[in-house]
Structure 1
């Protein structure tokens, strides 16, 4: 998945204030929240706009941003939920469930910065965490042995590191992680007027966001063996185990399983019946694994003498079970 990272280190932000400093130097908190909301598909908010909110709600203080205060103000405004934790296992479970997280890098273990710094965890694959860093400059992740050894750069603003390294980077911050999710709208909020006011675009966005979140989820425990077998056999490609399957994708799966098309030979268990039906002229002898439509089934039943077909007024046909 490609990410469109919002950077506080754009040249223009050097001259835009954020409290007593500039966005360029101090807005990692608001920038990380902007990136979180964008990845979740909730809203595309500019960094200056989020900084204004941080200042107005009192989250901007000397030395940085009080993330809890900013989240308390932003959550009802942008319709998301959040909770905090310092446990790596909870961070990983949250990311696997389709959420994102803001990580609070400390000064004890200088992985993402040499001092306090907020970054955003966008996804997890196994024990590997994809992180978006708004404070970007050339050579940042080759500047120390820790970063060279434990961080890999995917592209500008996007790096990968291990869950263990995330824990080390945030060990002197409490909480270490701010877990952010899309707001779940309860039935009591879905009033008739709410629905009437929704545009087609609103509905499409909701459906797309839910599908994207579902596709990020790992394979369920009950389906693990079957999933691994299907991937090993080349029936499935191993991605998005809980994602939706379109009809055309389903037909590809059926073909890979040999259930439709691709073979002129009937299965062993059906060989005698297939030969008998072909010899009797009930079937034409082609495509034994093809799908039978309802009209084809009706034609077979008629060929076997199981139906009487009577012409009725208006040119339509009535079918009756034979009494012979």
Structure 2
């Protein structure tokens, strides 16, 4: 299933001023409104142009010095669009919420001792649209770029690559441990949004079929997975599989990618 992904860096021409930063734009400071817009447009049939959306966000009083008051914005969204909104800092609660068809906004604090910052080195909001069968959270980052989680030539991107999976398109997959590490300095860590009978338009069977995509041969694999699967084939980890007869589920492929990157990080790849 495809989701609408809003990138804040596309809107440097739209002002998002605050008292302390009157020249701020959506590009510099708009992760909160962009994350909230992704909630709205992926959970409902509502559509907003960015300028109109920012004007509405500002009208709610959610624009504050240093960013966006998500508590204020989420309450305004509940009143205007009919969302039920709650908060948590518990990944198990978040997981259950996503399994029931809700979505969430993640609230991370950036880098700190022992942690470099997965989605940002400073405060940042991002949208969590679902969870895979193997319990990886699916994130749409409003400040996503094509090399943010994949560029081995950049030390921060290399670190991020070891702690998240860059999936097909712009989806990023993160396990509960790393998501917790990225959000634990902020309370609440997650703003949970739900609607009555929300199922994103798919039947349970369709959701399961999409989540359990099967790759039958290497040419079907996305670029980010091919080195890991080839490594697994070379070392007999894919038991009984050959390059032209894989039959690996998406869950299995992601597991192999994490194994590969863990060995890469430890310097134990052979």
TM class, shorter-length: 0.5 to 0.7
Distance 1:9 1:140, change over 3 A: same
Pair 1:212-2:212 in alignment: no
TM-score by length of structure 2 reads 0.66
Contact preservation (8 Å) 1:8, 1:47:
no
1:35 deviates by 0.7
Regions of 4+ moved over 6 Å: none
2:209 aligns to what?
Answer: 239
Looking at structure 2, the residues matched to 90 and 67 of structure 1 have their Cα atoms a distance apart, in angstroms, of: 19
1:175 aligns to what?
Answer: 188
1:47 deviates by 3.1
1:176 deviates by 0.0
Question: Tell me, what secondary structure is at the counterpart of 2:149?
Answer: helix
1:211 deviates by 7.0
Pair 1:153-2:166 in alignment: yes
Q: What are the within-5 Å matches in structure 2 for residues 38-117 of structure 1?
A: 38-107=41-110, 108=112, 109=115, 110-117=117-124
Pair 1:139-2:152 in alignment: no
1:321 aligns to what?
Answer: none
Contact preservation (8 Å) 2:135, 2:175:
yes
* Residues 43-63 of structure 1 deviation map (CA, whole Å, 9 limit, x = unaligned): 223333332122112110111
1:82 deviates by 0.8
Contact preservation (8 Å) 1:154, 1:160:
yes
Question: Tell me, what secondary structure is at the counterpart of 1:84?
Answer: strand
Looking at structure 2, the residues matched to 216 and 70 of structure 1 have their Cα atoms a distance apart, in angstroms, of: 34
TM-score by length of structure 1 reads 0.56
Contact preservation (8 Å) 1:5, 1:132:
yes
1:105 deviates by 1.4
Number of residues paired by the alignment? 196
Q: What are the within-5 Å matches in structure 2 for residues 244-283 of structure 1?
A: none
Contact preservation (8 Å) 1:98, 1:216:
no
Contact preservation (8 Å) 1:136, 1:157:
yes
Contact preservation (8 Å) 2:127, 2:141:
yes
Looking at structure 1, the residues matched to 70 and 190 of structure 2 have their Cα atoms a distance apart, in angstroms, of: 10
Contact preservation (8 Å) 2:101, 2:199:
no
Contact preservation (8 Å) 1:152, 1:160:
yes
Distance 1:50 1:122, change over 3 A: same
Equivalent of 1:17, from 10, 15, 18? 15
1:79 deviates by 1.7
Pair 1:130-2:138 in alignment: yes
Contact preservation (8 Å) 1:98, 1:213:
no
Looking at structure 2, the residues matched to 181 and 32 of structure 1 have their Cα atoms a distance apart, in angstroms, of: 15
Looking at structure 2, the residues matched to 92 and 217 of structure 1 have their Cα atoms a distance apart, in angstroms, of: 20
Looking at structure 1, the residues matched to 199 and 144 of structure 2 have their Cα atoms a distance apart, in angstroms, of: 31
Looking at structure 2, the residues matched to 113 and 50 of structure 1 have their Cα atoms a distance apart, in angstroms, of: 23
Looking at structure 1, the residues matched to 89 and 200 of structure 2 have their Cα atoms a distance apart, in angstroms, of: 29
Question: Tell me, what secondary structure is at the counterpart of 1:120?
Answer: strand
Higher relative CO (Cα under 8 Å, sequence separation at least 6) belongs to 2
1:217 deviates by 10
